[in-house]
Chains A and B, each alone.
Chain A
Amino acid sequence: MTAPAGAAAASSVLPAPALEVRDLVVRYGRGRKARSSPPAVDRVSFEIAPGETLGLVGESGSGKSTIGKAVLGLQPPSAGTVRVHGQDITGMSLRERSRRVADLRVVFQDPYSSLNPTRTIGQTLVEPLRLMGVTGAEALQRARSGLESVGLPGDAVDRYPTQFSGGQRQRIAIARALVCDPKVIVLDEPVSALDLSTQAQVLNLLADLRDQRGLSLLFIAHDLGVVRFLSQRTVVLYRGQVMESGPAEAVGLTPRHPYTLALTAAAPVPRPGEQAARRNAREAAGFGAASTASPGATGCPFVPRCPLSTDVCVEQRPPLRLIDQSSTACHHAERVPSL
């Protein structure tokens, strides 16, 4: 999603993206050892337009949650910038952020540990509002209407989190993000801990809220199917680097990167006949095991598992280049088989 130079110049005319991440690098730890090991997030750039949803997909260790933390300010980035509505918030403290850009909120994965069990739902929801200077009575009123907008009764403000099921808690977490009327919400695996039917309820709710309120969502998930449902665009990450990014349909249906293909092909579909065909196609494509062998520092990180890799992949990190609608970081993008 590296915007071409022309687009960057034109952005002074166009409205600024709701969220813009440019060349983000995050390294964990300090000192020489941290500098010599590959960073958790390596030069990642993307932007989200107002009202748009961007899906960030990858397996464990891909750095997707780290990007979410860096955007939220919970993990200081080593390099790069994060802008909300054009305002650079990279180095801002969390307090400063909340005072100056009350626009950025979060919903976490685990509905059990994301609500403080010792506080009532009302206390949890009112907390950020009071901080913004809303009076007590009005804050409570907004908390109630926030709960109603996620399909919970307003009188739930007097209850404690333990009295709610997982799906209901996730709704409360969404309500907590919504009460401040934010423009951008980071959703870190918001449905992966939920059962299928509850997951569908929450996904529908998120889609409705996005459309009603024009929210911009950074949707972090490991499940391409879930991401495809909610996102307009998808960014696929592997070992902290962007492998492919583009419209959700294009990334989902015609992957241009071998890793995207591997991810898509590995996700099973609930139709035995079709799944058997997909399985055979995947096994024929010859994707290697998720080996522990770490890739070279210079080349493409996917080399050890890639059936298409050649010498150039080991030596050079492929740049993102635009093919059809998606940009792909692969030297052999043209040779990637179709699903």
Chain B
Amino acid sequence: MSALPLDAAANTDLDAGRPGRPGRPGRRLPYFLRRPGGVFGATWLAFVVLASLTAPWWVPYGVAEQDLSNRLALPSADHWLGTDPLGRDLLSRIFSAGAEPLLAAGITVLVAFGIGLTMALIAAERGPRVERVSSRLAEVLLALPSTILLLAVIGAIGVRIFIVMAVLGVMISAGVYRVMLGVAKSVRQRLYVDAARVNGLSSLRVNLVHVLPSMGTVVAVQAAQLYGIGLLIVAGLAFLGFGPAEPQPSWGFMIQDASSYVFSNPWLLVPTGVVLALTVVAANELADAIASRGSVARTTVRRRRSPARVGATGSADPRPADPGAVLDVRDLHISVDDGPALVTGVSFALQPGRVLGLVGESGCGKTMTARSLMGLLPDGVSVSGGSIRWQGRELVGVSEKDLSAVRGRDIAMISQEPMVALDPMFSVAYQLTQPIRRFRGVGRGEARQIAAQLLRQVGIVDGERVLKSYPHQLSGGMAQRVCIALALTGEPRLLIADEPTTALDVTVQAEILSLLRALVRDTGLSVVIVSHDLGVVADICDDVAVMYAGTVVEDGTAAAVLDEPAHPYTQALLAANPHVADGEPVPTRLASIDGTVPPPGEWPTGCRFASRCLFAQEQCTQRFPSVPAHGSGSVLCTRVEELSRADVTWMSAPTTGPAGHETAPATAQPAPTVGVSR
């Protein structure tokens, strides 16, 4: 009973809650039957069980029927699998013997799960007090020597295999309880369980309807594995002589019998051995196939980074190259290999010492764009066109080795979840000094001094204490400071920050933003910050690029874009923000945008915002808008000049008022979403 299948199953089970999964698995063909191992396991088990249970009606010979002229025969037309030393038909004996071990192993599984699973569900529901008692009981059971106990039971009650295997089930239930308790506890933390409890469901129904089905995968994996073990134990007992008395056949005894002829008549061992081995393997294959849920897709997309077709799409960007920029991104295209494009035609330039904000809703490609700058796109996603120039040097298409010379040294990254970015196994000092020594080639003592200095630089007062601590001992804000210090170890010129404050409280967020601002001011660092929060962007960014459905729809200086938004989408985002300016009344309704961001692969040929835009006209849906310069940047909207001349904005548009407008048409079709968001 290894922990591995459990982990795999538990993880994939959690994944099942994500969007993008087409329908409910199991409605057509159960998912585990789409793998060869699963097909084999299920087919063989079904065959053996059926053949064994129906054996009395179809086997050609009786189990004790001897054909003395044909002793120890090889397979023939009369005896398909040959005969044993007494001339009895092996095929008949194998399948006549099958029912008992198959049923007995089933009893073990039933008893083990009947006790272990029930106890686990009760302990998970009733909390630590009950859990303490039941876990002690399980430990006692686990401490018993099960082999000796089984033999003692046989000694006391004789070879009554079903009872013996039930006793084994009781002993194994402790292990089942252990595994199931962890799963049950994690399922109980899901909110739908709480919601059902608030609705007043009885605890039995909560467990049966909401907790158990979510544990199904793990239960199936463990049961199939345990079944294989049970089979081996029944056979083992019979091998030792604790099986049905002769002439009643048993797999274990037949193997024992054959083992004495292993040199003179090796074939005798083959049929029984193969059937037993195949049955055990089938049970385990089935367990593997059940556990593999969801991992199929993951294994197929794992591919090597393919070199991008540089400039394949032809540069559509009219703007001249910016000589002063440290980072110059031109017509960047990112797509799923052999799949839809995720980002198309993104261009921006970043001056030294400036902060650029990539802003937009989830699923608009801002994180993909940021990750591509470091060559850290997920497996199966790659840059499919355009260029990323870092201080005049092309980064698209260069080898992983050349890229790693830039990554961490020139360009560093901080992520949304500081606690995930730090390794819980190592102290802060270790995690900081390792990269310092690698990047700066200094000794251990000096590295530690630099680490302490970096922590001071990110505003940590008691640096020595923090150096000694482990990630779990830090608060979220402190952990993000450590992450920033970690990013600074290579003395980068560009910092990429992917939603660096989203997981933090507002007061902590304000401190982290102040810290980033001070770093930019003091060190001349350039920053690309990804955020969905327009307030954060207003606070820290000099330049802004608003992204929608894989393109930049509006860019320019932060003041220009946020104070006088020109693109309808930018206007709509600002209007949807409930934070009103000081002294202004709170609106009774928020302006919202119909529907949701179209997923990659479903983008229209015209303006991608057209279907949600209040100002869309026929021309908008026909062709992709060009990029006219507007103010300090550019706006991807064919009607921008017209709208700004007429002084029409999203906030002033009359159609945002009516109650039905936001809700009804937007959601009339619950469209499947693609799992690119967040």
**Chain A residues proximal to chain B, CB less than 8 Å:** 59-60, 72-74, 94-95, 97-99, 102, 104-106, 108-110, 112-119, 124, 127-128, 131, 150-153, 156, 159-168, 171, 173, 176, 180, 195-201, 203-205, 207-208, 222-223, 225-226, 228-229, 248-249, 253, 262-263, 265-276, 279, 282-283, 287, 289-290, 292, 339
New A-B contacts (4) at CB < 8 Å, excluding given A113-B190, A290-B475: A114-B190, A115-B192, A131-B199, A271-B563
B644-678 with Cβ < 8 A to chain A: 659, 662-664, 666-673, 677
Partner of A268, one of B191, B194, B538: B538
Least CB distance, B476 to chain A, in whole angstroms: 8
| CA of A167 to CA of B363, assembled, Å | 14
CB-defined contacts of A113 to chain B, threshold 8 Å: 17, 190-192
Partner of A104, one of B24, B198, B209, B579: B198
Complex A-B, nearest 3 residue pairs according to Cβ-Cβ distance, in ascending order: A98-B200, A268-B535, A151-B663
Q: Does B303 contact A (CB under 8 A)?
A: no
Least CB distance, A144 to chain B, in whole angstroms: 14
The answer on a CB contact under 8 Å between B191 and A108 is: yes
Question: For residue B534, which residue of chain A has the nearest CB?
Answer: A270
Q: Does B141 contact A (CB under 8 A)?
A: no
- Assess A290 versus B477: contact at CB under 8 Å? Given A131-B201, A283-B514: yes
The answer on a CB contact under 8 Å between A274 and B581 is: yes
The answer on a CB contact under 8 Å between B578 and A200 is: yes
CB-defined contacts of B582 to chain A, threshold 8 Å: 253, 274, 339
Least CB distance, A202 to chain B, in whole angstroms: 9
Partner of A165, one of B202, B210, B576, B673: B673
Q: Does B573 contact A (CB under 8 A)?
A: yes
- Assess A198 versus B510: contact at CB under 8 Å? Given A114-B192, A268-B536: no
CB-defined contacts of B535 to chain A, threshold 8 Å: 267-270, 275
| CA of A163 to CA of B16, assembled, Å | 12
CB-defined contacts of B196 to chain A, threshold 8 Å: 116, 127
The answer on a CB contact under 8 Å between A273 and B563 is: yes
Least CB distance, B206 to chain A, in whole angstroms: 9
Could you give 18 example pairs across A and B, Cβ below 8 Å? A72-B194, A72-B198, A73-B198, A116-B210, A151-B662, A163-B670, A171-B667, A201-B593, A203-B590, A204-B663, A205-B662, A229-B586, A263-B507, A265-B510, A268-B510, A270-B574, A275-B538, A290-B475
The answer on a CB contact under 8 Å between B23 and A160 is: yes
CB-defined contacts of A196 to chain B, threshold 8 Å: 361, 532, 534, 573, 576-577
- Assess A128 versus B592: contact at CB under 8 Å? Given A113-B190, A116-B192, A266-B506: no
CB-defined contacts of B581 to chain A, threshold 8 Å: 269, 271, 274
B288-347 with Cβ < 8 A to chain A: none
CB-defined contacts of B202 to chain A, threshold 8 Å: 95
Q: Does B368 contact A (CB under 8 A)?
A: no
| CA of A105 to CA of B574, assembled, Å | 32
Partner of A204, one of B198, B534, B589: B589
Interface string of B485-507 (1 = CB under 8 A from A): 00000000000000000000111
The answer on a CB contact under 8 Å between B666 and A151 is: yes
| CA of A245 to CA of B91, assembled, Å | 83
CB-defined contacts of B475 to chain A, threshold 8 Å: 290, 292
Least CB distance, B243 to chain A, in whole angstroms: 42
| CA of A283 to CA of B539, assembled, Å | 13
The answer on a CB contact under 8 Å between B198 and A156 is: no
| CA of A298 to CA of B179, assembled, Å | 44
Q: Does B143 contact A (CB under 8 A)?
A: no
CB-defined contacts of B662 to chain A, threshold 8 Å: 151, 200-201, 204-205
The answer on a CB contact under 8 Å between B507 and A98 is: no
The answer on a CB contact under 8 Å between B591 and A151 is: no
The answer on a CB contact under 8 Å between B507 and A287 is: yes
Question: For residue B363, which residue of chain A has the nearest CB?
Answer: A195
CB-defined contacts of A105 to chain B, threshold 8 Å: 198-199
- Assess A151 versus B664: contact at CB under 8 Å? Given A113-B17, A263-B506: yes
Question: For residue B199, which residue of chain A has the nearest CB?
Answer: A128
Q: Does B533 contact A (CB under 8 A)?
A: yes
CB-defined contacts of B23 to chain A, threshold 8 Å: 160, 162-163
- Assess A195 versus B362: contact at CB under 8 Å? Given A59-B506, A222-B505, A266-B506: yes
Q: Does B213 contact A (CB under 8 A)?
A: yes
Least CB distance, A265 to chain B, in whole angstroms: 8
The answer on a CB contact under 8 Å between B361 and A74 is: no
CB-defined contacts of B587 to chain A, threshold 8 Å: 229
CB-defined contacts of A128 to chain B, threshold 8 Å: 199-200
The answer on a CB contact under 8 Å between B666 and A226 is: no
CB-defined contacts of B513 to chain A, threshold 8 Å: 268
The answer on a CB contact under 8 Å between A200 and B590 is: yes
The answer on a CB contact under 8 Å between B194 and A74 is: yes
Interface string of B466-495 (1 = CB under 8 A from A): 000000000111100000000000000000
| CA of A273 to CA of B558, assembled, Å | 10
CB-defined contacts of B576 to chain A, threshold 8 Å: 196-197, 199-200
The answer on a CB contact under 8 Å between B511 and A290 is: yes
Q: Does B195 contact A (CB under 8 A)?
A: yes
CB-defined contacts of B16 to chain A, threshold 8 Å: 117, 162
| CA of A218 to CA of B19, assembled, Å | 29
Least CB distance, B35 to chain A, in whole angstroms: 21
Question: For residue B507, which residue of chain A has the nearest CB?
Answer: A266
The answer on a CB contact under 8 Å between A156 and B670 is: yes
Q: Does B393 contact A (CB under 8 A)?
A: no
Q: Does B559 contact A (CB under 8 A)?
A: yes
Least CB distance, B73 to chain A, in whole angstroms: 54
The answer on a CB contact under 8 Å between B577 and A110 is: no
Least CB distance, B536 to chain A, in whole angstroms: 6
In the complex, which of the residues A114, A162, A166, A180 has the most CB atoms of chain B within 10 Å of its own CB atom? A162
The answer on a CB contact under 8 Å between A270 and B21 is: no
CB-defined contacts of B190 to chain A, threshold 8 Å: 113-114
CB-defined contacts of A109 to chain B, threshold 8 Å: 191
CB-defined contacts of A283 to chain B, threshold 8 Å: 514
